[in-house]
Structure 1
Amino acid sequence: MSKSVHQRQVVVRRADRPGDLGWVVMAHGELYDRQFGWNTDFEALVARIVADYAARHSPAAEAGWIAETDGERAGCVFLVAGDRPQVARVRVLLVAPAARGLGLGTRLVERSLTFAREAGYRRVTLWTTDDLVSARRIYEHFGFALVDEEPCHSFGHDLVGQTWALDLHDRAAEG
């Protein structure tokens, strides 16, 4: 007897539909509480990032994406302008547990880096914590390098904050 295996439909699209931005905040709050016990300070940080994006992003220089599996939101990432010219930041990368193993994180980061190159950025940075191992593997895959780390007390825990960076012109020359 042959069993039919359902092939999941995966789509990565712009985060431009009603509910997308609220989902990003909610998903981060709930997931990071469940997985790491992080408090609402983290959800508030994500809410500020999303609110800033919603209020003032430039579509030519900043974008957000939602990954869907079978029509349901399952992941997200934003690329926003950094503090210096020609520097962008990857923000709020998330893949829901039920959608892990489908390559969504890689697809989301790849989409953001493609956008960064097309928008004329020369460097992309991001901040994370050392306990987010799966995300770090994705960043390393694309050539991000650890440029700074320091202990911090955030989201109700003692963590090690890390800054990672990728020079886009170096990767373009290699590829």
Structure 2
Amino acid sequence: MTQQDETRIAVRRATHPGDLGWVVMTHGEEYHRQFGWDTDFEALVAGIVADYAGGHDPAREAAWIAELDGRRVGCVFLVGGDRPAQARLRLLLVTPEGRGLRLGTRLVAECLAFARAAGYEQVTLWTNDVLVAARGIYQGFGFTLADEEPHHSFGHDLIGQNWTLDLGPEGDRSGPR
């Protein structure tokens, strides 16, 4: 990434009108275009965004938007997990326009820095094995595959994966390897 690219990029909290709607719409459109996924996926994303919008705890949960020249090109969410010390990374996406600028890495770094500051001890995420680029980002930060299971969702046979990152002294990394 060049110095000029840096000045064209901004990562900010998802607090502007239209941010949450953009997340839902763009996930639906991009995953259909790239993988042929149906509207069941968009409905899943809409549910996650609605839960976040309907009552997230700003001290423990946040969402970010990546912009390129003032246009939204990426997002990620951090929400509470199944236990008080556990958070979940959700909805990482970088559009084709934003790819190649390490925005996915930057979004995950923001997410994990927030998780550490909020006192979480572990971050988990669920993804599918076809999302190779995202998996590479997660592995770069030290996430490890906890388990995987075949499922039929979004009109396709997929392999769902659960990944985990411990934020304690052993698993605490400030950035990708």
Please report the TM-score for the alignment, with normalisation by the length of structure 2.
0.93
Residue 83 of structure 1: how far off its partner (Å): 1.1
Asked whether the 8 Å contact 2:166–2:172 carries over to 1, the reply is: no
User: Take 1:6 and 1:173, find their aligned partners in 2: how far apart are those partners?
Assistant: 25
Asked whether the 8 Å contact 2:75–2:92 carries over to 1, the reply is: yes
Asked whether the 8 Å contact 2:77–2:90 carries over to 1, the reply is: yes
**What residue number does 2:11 align with?**
12
Relative to 1, partners in 2 of residues 1:157 and 1:120: Cα closer, same or farther, differing over 3 Å? same
Summarize the alignment of residues 6-155 of structure 1 with structure 2, pairs less than 5 Å apart.
Answer: 7-8=4-5, 9-155=8-154
Summarize the alignment of residues 152-163 of structure 1 with structure 2, pairs less than 5 Å apart.
Answer: 152-163=151-162
Residue 91 of structure 1: how far off its partner (Å): 0.3
Residue 171 of structure 1: how far off its partner (Å): 2.8
RMSD: 1.6
For structure 2, the 5+ residue unaligned runs are none
User: Take 2:55 and 2:123, find their aligned partners in 1: how far apart are those partners?
Assistant: 20
User: Take 2:128 and 2:80, find their aligned partners in 1: how far apart are those partners?
Assistant: 21
Residue 77 of structure 1: how far off its partner (Å): 0.1
Asked whether the 8 Å contact 2:93–2:104 carries over to 1, the reply is: yes
User: Take 2:18 and 2:173, find their aligned partners in 1: how far apart are those partners?
Assistant: 39
Mark the structure with the bigger radius of gyration.
Answer: 1
Greater shift after overlay, 142-151 or 164-173? 164-173
Please report the TM-score for the alignment, with normalisation by the length of structure 1.
0.94
User: Take 1:63 and 1:120, find their aligned partners in 2: how far apart are those partners?
Assistant: 14
Greater shift after overlay, 108-117 or 163-172? 163-172
> Which deviations, in whole Å up to 9, do the C-alpha atoms of 1:88-140 show, x marking residues without a partner?
00000000001100000000000000000000000000000001000000000
User: Take 2:100 and 2:138, find their aligned partners in 1: how far apart are those partners?
Assistant: 16
For residue 42 of structure 1, give the secondary structure of its aligned residue in structure 2: helix
For residue 115 of structure 1, give the secondary structure of its aligned residue in structure 2: helix
Aligned residues: 171
For structure 1, the 5+ residue unaligned runs are none
Relative to 1, partners in 2 of residues 1:174 and 1:36: Cα closer, same or farther, differing over 3 Å? closer
For residue 158 of structure 1, give the secondary structure of its aligned residue in structure 2: strand
User: Take 2:52 and 2:159, find their aligned partners in 1: how far apart are those partners?
Assistant: 26
Asked whether the 8 Å contact 2:142–2:173 carries over to 1, the reply is: no
For residue 172 of structure 1, give the secondary structure of its aligned residue in structure 2: coil
Aligned residue identity for 1:63? A
